[in-house]
């Protein structure tokens, strides 16, 4: 019979200090991994939430299908934006099909959207200036703007474009 203070034949002896070190090491690894995972989760979460994610997803899918239809139409849209010193912005838009023929839209809406402050957004009042050609005026400050163009032939938009423009 082996005495309590003697070790086994292999020379290994499990003591209270060893058990404590194993437990502290095990839980230290678990806590460290949890802290890293919590940091990554919090630092990569943008905070953006939507009240109705299902509806937002359907709206996004509809926008994708409209973009495909728009791409298949092969419209050529030329825009010319010019700002006078008094802040008057003149916009000319010409819509043409792939053969160069004029496209007459039922309605065309254009906005200058400020990327910084939505209170500065401006809308153009457009008038037909020939077949497929539209001209409009608006007031806007110098700087970077998003030019949002939407043309409709029926209730659905058949052309939508968002592009960054710089007004001087």
- pLDDT tens digits for range 21-31: 999 999 999 99
Query: DSSP character for 102?
Result: B
Of 79, 53, 68, the closest CA to residue 145 belongs to 79
Mean pLDDT estimate for the chain: 88
Is 49 exposed, middle or buried, given 0-12, 13-18 or 19+ CB atoms closer than 10 A? exposed
Q: pLDDT > 90: what percent of the chain?
A: 52
Predicted TM-score (pTM) of the model is 0.62
Q: How confident is the model at residue 8 (pLDDT cuts 50, 70, 90)?
A: low
Domain 74-167 grouped into CATH 3.40.190.10: no
């Amino acid at each position: 019979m082996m005495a309590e203070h003697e070790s086994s034949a292999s020379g290994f002896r499990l003591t209270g200090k060893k058990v404590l070190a194993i437990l502290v090491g095990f839980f230290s690894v678990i806590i460290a991994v949890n802290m890293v995972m919590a940091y990554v989760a919090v630092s990569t979460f943008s905070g953006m939430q939507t009240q109705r994610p299902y509806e937002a997803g359907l709206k996004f899918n509809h926008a994708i299908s409209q973009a495909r239809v728009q791409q298949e139409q092969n419209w050529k849209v030329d825009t010319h934006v010019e700002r006078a010193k008094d802040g008057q912005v003149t916009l000319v838009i010409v819509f043409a099909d792939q053969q160069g023929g004029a496209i007459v839209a039922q309605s065309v809406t254009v906005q200058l959207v400020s990327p910084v402050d939505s209170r500065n957004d401006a809308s153009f009042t457009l008038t037909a200036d020939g077949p497929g050609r539209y001209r409009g005026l608006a007031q806007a400050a110098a700087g970077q703007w998003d030019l949002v163009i939407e043309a409709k032939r029926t209730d659905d938009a058949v052309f939508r474009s968002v592009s960054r423009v710089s007004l001087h």
